[in-house]
Amino acid sequence: MEKSQRKADTAAIDLIFKEARTFYAWEPTPVPETLLHELYDLFKLGPTSANSCPARVIFLTTSEAKERLLPAMSEGNVLKTRTAPVVAIVAYDTQFYEYMHVLYPSAPDARSWFEGKPDVIQESGLRNSSLQGAYLILAARALGLDCGPMTGFQADAVNAEFFPDGRYKVNFICNLGYGDGSRQKPRSPRLAFDQACQIL
């Protein structure tokens, strides 16, 4: 097929974008572990700078694991996190450069672009793990899961509980599962093209 003719069908676009919503309430249907592996195998394919792939994800699937997170969540996010089948802690590895020789073999010196440069590590790690977190959301929707991304939490508390050695840093948290549509909110407004974009 010609590249100019490649386009997802209407149903796929609707599933991933137009009909998708942020969910706050969840059905009690479990998410199979095999689906989480499939999810990773999709979102890992999204592009990152120099293929650095700094995102690291912990999937919380048990009540015990989620209870460890709840003290760090803002009050409005506690119930939705407790009841979500899966809670993904999306973080980034502050030593992601250790894998550059594998991930970006065309540049043997790629590790030196980051090692010993904390500001560069932080900027690149946060930016690219944010991209990967967005790919996670799109991949989850493509696989039939609903998502509830959140930034209402105490990052220091999350890091202390789940990443005590300091190597990983939390970026954001995303609930995953099958949303309860009966309690869904309407989509909030979005800016018009001319308010958000320019063509030069």
Domains, the chain: 23-179 (3.40.109.10)
pLDDT at site 4: 65
Q: Rounded to the nearest 10 degrees, how much is the dihedral formed by the CA atoms of 90, 94, 95, 100?
A: 70
Percent of the chain with pLDDT over 70: 98
Coil, helix or strand at residue 90: strand
Q: Is the pLDDT of residue 176 over 80?
A: yes
- Who's near 97: CB < 8 A, 6+ residues apart? 52, 110, 111, 113, 114, 115, 121
Band of residue 1 on the pLDDT scale cut at 50, 70, 90: low
Return the closest-CA partner of residue 33 out of 12, 54, 62, 56.
Answer: 62
Q: Are 62 and 143 in contact (CB under 8 A)?
A: no
pLDDT for res 72: 98
pLDDT surpassing 70 at residue 66: yes
- So what's the pLDDT on residue 63? 97
* Among candidate residues 63, 13, 61, the one with its CA nearest the CA of residue 33: 61
pLDDT reported for residue 183: 79
Mean of the pLDDT values across residues 61-83? 97
Half-sphere exposure of 150 (CA within 13 A, CB side): 27
Does residue 103 register a pLDDT over 70?
Answer: yes
CA distance 89 to 72: 12
User: Where are the strands (E) in the chain, listed by range?
Assistant: 55-60, 86-93, 146-150, 168-177
b/e map of 152-165 (b: 16 or more CB within 10 Å)?
ebeeeebbeebbee
When pLDDT is averaged across residues 165-174 and rounded to a whole number, the result is 98
> Given pLDDT bands bounded at 50, 70 and 90, which one contains residue 65?
very high
Averaged pLDDT, 88-99:
98
Structure tokens at 62: 């048990």
Mean pLDDT, residues 87-101 taken together: 98
